[in-house]
Protein backbone atom coordinates (compact mmCIF):
# COMPACT_ATOMS: atom_id res chain seq x y z
CA UNK A 1 0.00 0.00 0.00
CA UNK A 2 2.82 2.43 0.85
CA UNK A 3 4.32 1.96 -2.61
CA UNK A 4 0.95 2.65 -4.27
CA UNK A 5 0.41 5.76 -2.16
CA UNK A 6 3.83 7.04 -3.15
CA UNK A 7 3.02 6.45 -6.83
CA UNK A 8 -0.25 8.34 -6.43
CA UNK A 9 1.53 11.17 -4.65
CA UNK A 10 4.12 11.39 -7.43
CA UNK A 11 1.53 11.33 -10.22
CA UNK A 12 -0.43 14.13 -8.55
CA UNK A 13 2.76 16.21 -8.25
CA UNK A 14 3.43 15.72 -11.96
CA UNK A 15 -0.11 16.56 -13.09
CA UNK A 16 -1.77 19.90 -13.77
CA UNK A 17 -5.08 18.81 -15.27
CA UNK A 18 -6.56 16.33 -12.79
CA UNK A 19 -10.23 15.38 -12.83
CA UNK A 20 -11.90 13.49 -9.99
CA UNK A 21 -14.97 11.33 -10.53
CA UNK A 22 -16.63 10.08 -7.35
CA UNK A 23 -19.57 8.09 -6.08
CA UNK A 24 -21.34 7.24 -2.84
CA UNK A 25 -18.17 5.96 -1.16
CA UNK A 26 -16.90 9.54 -0.97
CA UNK A 27 -19.77 10.45 1.34
CA UNK A 28 -19.99 7.33 3.51
CA UNK A 29 -17.09 8.59 5.62
CA UNK A 30 -19.30 11.60 6.41
CA UNK A 31 -22.02 9.30 7.74
CA UNK A 32 -24.18 9.21 4.60
CA UNK A 33 -25.14 5.61 3.77
CA UNK A 34 -24.28 4.02 0.45
CA UNK A 35 -27.34 2.90 -1.51
CA UNK A 36 -25.88 -0.51 -2.30
CA UNK A 37 -23.85 -1.39 0.78
CA UNK A 38 -24.99 -3.98 3.33
CA UNK A 39 -26.32 -1.17 5.52
CA UNK A 40 -27.41 0.97 2.59
CA UNK A 41 -30.84 2.18 1.58
CA UNK A 42 -31.48 -0.81 -0.68
CA UNK A 43 -31.29 -3.13 2.31
CA UNK A 44 -33.78 -1.31 4.51
CA UNK A 45 -37.37 -2.43 4.98
CA UNK A 46 -40.08 -0.19 3.53
CA UNK A 47 -43.56 -0.71 2.13
CA UNK A 48 -42.07 -0.25 -1.35
CA UNK A 49 -38.55 -0.95 -2.63
CA UNK A 50 -36.36 2.19 -2.49
CA UNK A 51 -35.80 1.95 -6.26
CA UNK A 52 -39.56 2.31 -6.71
CA UNK A 53 -40.00 5.13 -4.19
CA UNK A 54 -37.32 7.34 -5.73
CA UNK A 55 -38.64 6.98 -9.26
CA UNK A 56 -40.33 9.76 -11.19
CA UNK A 57 -43.61 7.88 -11.63
CA UNK A 58 -43.84 7.11 -7.90
CA UNK A 59 -43.13 10.76 -7.04
CA UNK A 60 -45.97 11.85 -9.33
CA UNK A 61 -48.47 9.23 -8.07
CA UNK A 62 -47.59 9.13 -4.38
CA UNK A 63 -45.84 12.39 -3.42
CA UNK A 64 -46.64 11.93 0.29
CA UNK A 65 -44.93 8.53 0.39
CA UNK A 66 -42.04 9.83 -1.68
CA UNK A 67 -41.39 12.72 0.68
CA UNK A 68 -41.74 10.56 3.78
CA UNK A 69 -38.92 8.36 2.50
CA UNK A 70 -36.92 11.25 1.02
CA UNK A 71 -36.87 13.28 4.22
CA UNK A 72 -36.20 10.26 6.43
CA UNK A 73 -33.56 8.44 4.39
CA UNK A 74 -31.96 10.84 1.90
CA UNK A 75 -31.44 14.12 3.72
CA UNK A 76 -28.43 14.49 6.00
CA UNK A 77 -28.31 18.20 6.77
CA UNK A 78 -25.78 17.76 9.59
CA UNK A 79 -23.21 15.85 7.50
CA UNK A 80 -19.78 17.48 7.22
CA UNK A 81 -17.04 17.11 4.59
CA UNK A 82 -14.42 14.44 5.28
CA UNK A 83 -10.75 14.19 4.35
CA UNK A 84 -11.57 13.23 0.75
CA UNK A 85 -13.63 16.39 0.19
CA UNK A 86 -10.98 18.56 1.86
CA UNK A 87 -8.13 16.96 -0.10
CA UNK A 88 -9.88 17.57 -3.42
CA UNK A 89 -10.61 21.19 -2.49
CA UNK A 90 -6.91 21.64 -1.67
CA UNK A 91 -5.84 20.13 -5.01
CA UNK A 92 -8.15 22.56 -6.80
CA UNK A 93 -6.81 25.49 -4.79
CA UNK A 94 -3.27 24.38 -5.73
CA UNK A 95 -4.22 24.55 -9.41
CA UNK A 96 -3.86 20.82 -10.09
CA UNK A 97 -7.48 19.66 -9.98
CA UNK A 98 -9.74 21.16 -12.63
CA UNK A 99 -13.09 19.57 -11.77
CA UNK A 100 -14.95 17.26 -9.44
CA UNK A 101 -17.59 15.13 -11.13
CA UNK A 102 -19.88 13.54 -8.57
CA UNK A 103 -22.82 11.17 -8.44
CA UNK A 104 -23.61 12.43 -4.93
CA UNK A 105 -26.39 14.89 -4.15
CA UNK A 106 -25.27 16.11 -0.71
CA UNK A 107 -23.29 19.24 -1.60
CA UNK A 108 -20.33 18.27 0.61
CA UNK A 109 -17.75 19.05 -2.09
CA UNK A 110 -18.90 22.66 -2.21
CA UNK A 111 -19.03 22.81 1.58
CA UNK A 112 -15.37 21.75 1.66
CA UNK A 113 -14.42 24.54 -0.74
CA UNK A 114 -14.47 22.92 -4.18
CA UNK A 115 -15.66 25.36 -6.81
CA UNK A 116 -15.94 23.42 -10.08
CA UNK A 117 -18.34 20.64 -9.09
CA UNK A 118 -20.44 18.87 -11.70
CA UNK A 119 -23.37 17.14 -9.99
CA UNK A 120 -24.56 14.39 -12.32
CA UNK A 121 -27.54 13.48 -10.14
CA UNK A 122 -28.45 16.95 -8.90
CA UNK A 123 -28.49 18.30 -5.35
CA UNK A 124 -30.75 18.21 -2.30
CA UNK A 125 -29.83 21.86 -1.76
CA UNK A 126 -31.81 22.96 -4.83
CA UNK A 127 -35.58 22.62 -4.87
CA UNK A 128 -38.06 24.27 -7.23
CA UNK A 129 -41.78 24.76 -7.52
CA UNK A 130 -43.06 22.67 -10.42
CA UNK A 131 -45.60 25.38 -11.23
CA UNK A 132 -43.80 28.72 -11.01
CA UNK A 133 -40.15 27.70 -10.63
CA UNK A 134 -39.52 29.48 -7.33
CA UNK A 135 -36.39 28.26 -5.51
CA UNK A 136 -36.54 26.59 -2.11
CA UNK A 137 -33.60 25.61 0.10
CA UNK A 138 -32.90 22.32 1.85
CA UNK A 139 -34.02 23.90 5.12
CA UNK A 140 -37.33 24.87 3.53
CA UNK A 141 -37.95 21.24 2.57
CA UNK A 142 -36.91 19.90 5.97
CA UNK A 143 -39.16 22.35 7.81
CA UNK A 144 -42.18 21.58 5.64
CA UNK A 145 -44.85 19.13 6.72
CA UNK A 146 -45.73 16.39 4.28
CA UNK A 147 -45.33 17.48 0.66
CA UNK A 148 -43.65 20.91 0.48
CA UNK A 149 -45.83 23.47 -1.24
CA UNK A 150 -44.97 26.74 -2.89
CA UNK A 151 -46.67 30.03 -2.08
CA UNK A 152 -48.43 29.69 -5.43
CA UNK A 153 -49.86 26.31 -4.43
CA UNK A 154 -47.55 24.26 -6.61
CA UNK A 155 -45.55 21.23 -5.45
CA UNK A 156 -41.88 21.74 -4.62
CA UNK A 157 -39.62 19.08 -6.21
CA UNK A 158 -35.97 18.46 -5.33
CA UNK A 159 -33.48 19.07 -8.15
CA UNK A 160 -32.41 15.43 -7.89
CA UNK A 161 -32.37 12.98 -10.78
CA UNK A 162 -34.90 10.27 -9.97
CA UNK A 163 -35.13 6.86 -11.60
CA UNK A 164 -36.80 7.21 -15.03
CA UNK A 165 -35.36 10.72 -15.41
CA UNK A 166 -32.44 11.58 -17.66
CA UNK A 167 -29.22 13.28 -16.61
CA UNK A 168 -28.82 16.96 -17.45
CA UNK A 169 -27.26 17.04 -20.92
CA UNK A 170 -25.17 20.16 -20.26
CA UNK A 171 -23.65 18.66 -17.10
CA UNK A 172 -22.95 15.41 -18.92
CA UNK A 173 -21.33 17.13 -21.90
CA UNK A 174 -19.18 19.30 -19.66
CA UNK A 175 -18.07 16.22 -17.70
CA UNK A 176 -17.03 14.49 -20.93
CA UNK A 177 -14.96 17.53 -21.97
CA UNK A 178 -13.13 17.66 -18.66
CA UNK A 179 -12.36 13.93 -18.72
CA UNK A 180 -11.16 14.00 -22.33
CA UNK A 181 -8.74 16.83 -21.56
CA UNK A 182 -7.46 15.43 -18.25
CA UNK A 183 -3.86 14.31 -17.86
CA UNK A 184 -4.91 12.32 -14.76
CA UNK A 185 -8.28 10.84 -13.85
CA UNK A 186 -8.91 9.76 -10.26
CA UNK A 187 -12.03 7.67 -9.69
CA UNK A 188 -13.03 7.07 -6.10
CA UNK A 189 -15.79 5.62 -3.96
CA UNK A 190 -17.80 4.12 -6.79
CA UNK A 191 -18.45 0.58 -7.98
CA UNK A 192 -18.85 1.89 -11.55
CA UNK A 193 -22.12 0.05 -12.13
CA UNK A 194 -24.54 2.99 -12.51
CA UNK A 195 -24.89 4.11 -16.12
CA UNK A 196 -24.63 6.40 -17.95
CA UNK A 197 -22.39 7.96 -15.30
CA UNK A 198 -20.04 4.95 -15.12
CA UNK A 199 -19.46 5.15 -18.87
CA UNK A 200 -17.68 8.48 -18.48
CA UNK A 201 -14.46 6.58 -17.75
CA UNK A 202 -14.34 5.58 -21.43
CA UNK A 203 -13.67 9.16 -22.50
CA UNK A 204 -10.33 9.36 -20.69
CA UNK A 205 -7.35 9.35 -23.06
CA UNK A 206 -4.43 9.72 -20.64
CA UNK A 207 -2.10 7.23 -18.98
CA UNK A 208 -2.78 7.95 -15.31
CA UNK A 209 -6.14 6.35 -14.54
CA UNK A 210 -6.46 5.74 -10.79
CA UNK A 211 -9.21 3.70 -9.16
CA UNK A 212 -9.63 4.06 -5.38
CA UNK A 213 -12.37 1.95 -3.83
CA UNK A 214 -12.80 -0.32 -0.83
CA UNK A 215 -13.82 -3.22 -3.08
CA UNK A 216 -12.77 -4.36 -6.53
CA UNK A 217 -14.65 -2.93 -9.53
CA UNK A 218 -15.34 -4.33 -12.98
CA UNK A 219 -13.01 -1.66 -14.40
CA UNK A 220 -9.91 -2.43 -12.32
CA UNK A 221 -8.18 -4.08 -15.29
CA UNK A 222 -8.37 -0.81 -17.23
CA UNK A 223 -6.69 1.25 -14.50
CA UNK A 224 -3.04 2.22 -14.35
CA UNK A 225 -3.20 2.21 -10.54
CA UNK A 226 -5.71 0.47 -8.26
CA UNK A 227 -5.85 1.21 -4.53
CA UNK A 228 -8.29 -0.72 -2.35
CA UNK A 229 -8.98 1.48 0.63
CA UNK A 230 -11.12 4.24 2.08
CA UNK A 231 -11.09 7.24 -0.22
CA UNK A 232 -10.73 9.77 2.63
CA UNK A 233 -7.76 7.96 4.13
CA UNK A 234 -6.03 7.58 0.76
CA UNK A 235 -6.50 11.15 -0.50
CA UNK A 236 -5.84 12.56 2.95
CA UNK A 237 -2.55 10.67 3.18
CA UNK A 238 -1.21 11.83 -0.20
CA UNK A 239 -2.32 15.45 0.20
CA UNK A 240 -1.46 16.00 3.85
CA UNK A 241 -5.09 16.68 4.79
CA UNK A 242 -6.67 15.23 7.93
**Catalytic site residues?**
121
Q: Is 212 annotated as a binding residue?
A: no
Q: Is 213 annotated as a binding residue?
A: yes
Q: Is 103 annotated as a binding residue?
A: yes
Q: Is the peptide bond before 196 cis (omega within 30 degrees of 0)?
A: yes
Q: Is 132 annotated as a binding residue?
A: yes
Q: Is 106 annotated as a binding residue?
A: yes
Q: Is 150 annotated as a binding residue?
A: yes
H runs (alpha helix) in the chain: 2-14, 25-28, 50-53, 56-61, 63-73, 83-93, 108-112, 138-143, 169-181, 231-239
CB–CB of 186/21 below 8 Å?
yes
Q: Is 129 annotated as a binding residue?
A: yes
Known binding residues for nicotinamide are: 35, 105-106
Known binding residues for Zn(2+) are: 129, 132, 150, 152
Known binding residues are: 24, 28, 35-36, 103, 105-106, 121, 129, 132, 150, 152, 190-191, 213, 231
Amino acid sequence: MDEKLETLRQWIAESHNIVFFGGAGVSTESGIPDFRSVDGLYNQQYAYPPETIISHSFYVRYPEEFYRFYKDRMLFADAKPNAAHRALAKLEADGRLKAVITQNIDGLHQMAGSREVLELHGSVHRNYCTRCGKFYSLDDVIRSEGVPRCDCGGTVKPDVVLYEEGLDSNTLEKSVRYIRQADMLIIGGTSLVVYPAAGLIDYYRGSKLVLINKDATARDSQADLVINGRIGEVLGAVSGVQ
